[in-house]
Chain A
Amino acid sequence: MLHIRCEDVYLWYQIKSNYMNLGYSPKDLAFDEEAQGKLVSGIKKLSKAVKSTLGPSGNTVLIESPHHTHGLTVTKDGVTVAKSIDLIDPIENLAVKIVKQAADRTATEAGDGTTTSIVLTEALILNGLDHLNANPALNRTELLRSLVEVSDLVVDKLKKSGKKLTNSMLTDVATISANNDKNIGGIIASVYKEVGKTGIVTVERSQSTETYAETTLGLKIDRGYLSPLFINDQKKDECVYEDVMVLVADMEISNILQLELVLKPIIQENKKILLIAPCNVNVVNTLAANVMKNNLKIVAIQPPSFGYKQHELMQDIAVSVGATYYSEKTGDDLSLINYSDLGHAAKVIVSSDKTILIKSTARSNQAAIDERVAQLWDAHAQAAKKADKDFLLERIASLTGGIGVIYVGGNTDLEQKELYDRVDDAVCAVRSALEEGILPGSGRALHHIATQDTIFDAIVPQNAEKLAAISIIKQSLQAPLNQILTNAGLEVSDVYVDDSDIGFGYNLKTGSHGDLIKMGVVDPLKVTRCALQNAISVAVTILSTNAIVTMARVYEPQP
């Protein structure tokens, strides 16, 4: 039994400070069985907490955490559980950190699969140690190399068995990833249907208790009009113009006469213009006065965001409307701007806190837009942080012209946070499924490879290390399916008797056997693949560890 004693909470640790005067901090060393035993016990603890959430019958986990609202979180999301865990023993904690990193990478790459990744890691390590202990003659280095080799075969096989996602399956993928919430699955699927498969869906917190989705086919800027006098649709408090010229600049317009060259054709030909530029109060007043008294059709908004993000977003806007971007950073002089530097939009809708531009092809260059989108996808593939990835996705969406936002509501902060995590996961899972396709879910794809597939015959020569590696992988690939059944209180032998076909499996929700993909029990290929690859990487690291150096510390009861 693993459980944390409650007095641990009141313990605090201190690096042995009396040694500090010496100019170095003393270390604790651990080797061989002792080191690995601690690493394994750390992973076991983490895994035990996380894996109970796996599958449709997964349990909720309650976390006390100062980082969350009201100091606690209720979740069914593996990442959240994993992130909350830090252990008191330094070596156990190192193990937890490594596994968390791998899980986090899976979540960042594929948006889901943290729990699967942790379950696989634990299984690989435990099975690996079993083999090493049972057969001391095994060459450890050779075994680890074989592990990687065998896992590559499995990844290839997974890629080959991936099926393309159809519209009806989209709902299933979303539903499963939202921990079987049909309502959420439906919302996500409908948003993706609206924005199209290249469109982008983001998740935000709702101000109300409702969970709903909004889609925008166009470019959205999180800035509203600079003066309410620009409003021309009093009912909706919006300023709406069609066939509009767009000025894009990031330097402050301090004098209206700077814009004379641009405004001249606008005024004389009675056109409309949207200014995306910081304006000083006086310029805003002058513009508003012209709108009110002089019947000009002008609306001004601030540039979106701040700092480098602002620069990037403004470039995106300029490219998509076909404007020349006047920037302080590149030493442009705003008084040189003229009519041909403006972009064009089919329609703009400016409200108090956001602006939507519906693009036109009048001035924009589709090739330039496509090139920029391609660059952003490259950057997206390289970005390591989730926040960076999300920012890039938003930008891609605004350029390609379809963005859906799901607003997650809840009766309490707690409920909202829990739901938000699940919706966010589900959206990522759908994106992954659209990218690489889907596999039979419920851990079945890996389980089938382990129990039925003949790919392992391709490994030659079949020496002791290779055989051990195959056996470790085979045993470990069954772990996710076993865990899902265990969470539902079942045994593999209860439900899988004849299991020769990969698509054939047991549907936990309905309690029936059949074609898993048809029944909507599916996993995105990318999620399964990333979970496996990251698990292998961690397992190999931990299995090859023989010495561990930690900071020496003493634990004392808090005074």
Chain B
Amino acid sequence: MKPIGKYIVISNIEEEVKTDTGLLLSARDADEFRYKKAKVVASGTDVIHIHPGDVIHYDKGHSFTMVISGHHYTIIQERDVVIVL
């Protein structure tokens, strides 16, 4: 699987979100944040700074999901990535 151009294939990381104070946020609270956490599965041919295996935060408003051979993936473009951890 090789994405073309600036596209990146990622897989969402679902985890419990806890604030610094120790307050547990529910999935819906976490959903209210614009940016989500994910792991990069494959990066496009023109993508330079992001590599498979990186954990990133991306803008979920510009993301789309698709199913490839039974796996759920999310597709974004390079410019939707805000942070590489």
Contacts and interface: CB of A to CB of B under 8 A. Distances in A.
Interface of A: 255-257, 260, 263-264, 267-268, 282, 285-286, 289-290, 293-294, 296
A263 B23 contact: yes
B85 to A, nearest CB: 22
B26 A268 contact: no
12 contacts: A260-B19, A260-B21, A267-B23, A268-B22, A285-B28, A286-B24, A289-B24, A289-B26, A290-B24, A293-B24, A294-B22, A294-B24
A290 B32 contact: no
B29 interface: yes
A257 B23 CA distance: 9
Interface of B: 19, 21-26, 28-29, 32
B24 A264 contact: no
Contact of A260 (B23, B24, B26, B32): B23
Contacts of B23: 256, 260, 263, 267, 290, 294, 296
B21 A268 contact: yes
B21 A286 contact: no
Contact of B22 (A255, A257, A267, A285): A267
Nearest to A261: B21
Contacts of B19: 257, 260
Contact of A282 (B22, B24, B28): B28
A398 B22 CA distance: 35
Contact of B21 (A263, A282, A289, A293): A263
B24 A255 contact: no
- Pairs A-B, 10 closest by C-beta atoms: A264-B21, A286-B26, A267-B22, A294-B24, A290-B24, A282-B28, A289-B26, A285-B26, A267-B21, A286-B29
A286 B25 CA distance: 6
A204 B25 CA distance: 42
Contacts of A282: 26, 28-29
A280 to B, nearest CB: 10
A191 to B, nearest CB: 44
Given A256-B23, A256-B25, A290-B24, 16 more contacts: A255-B32, A257-B19, A257-B29, A260-B19, A263-B21, A264-B21, A267-B23, A268-B21, A282-B28, A285-B26, A285-B28, A286-B24, A286-B26, A289-B24, A294-B22, A294-B24
A125 B32 CA distance: 76
Contacts of A257: 19, 29
Nearest to A259: B23
A289 B28 CA distance: 12
Contacts of B25: 256, 286
Contacts of B32: 255
A134 B19 CA distance: 93
Contacts of B21: 260, 263-264, 267-268
B40 to A, nearest CB: 29
A289 B18 CA distance: 12
Nearest to B30: A286
Contacts of B22: 267-268, 294
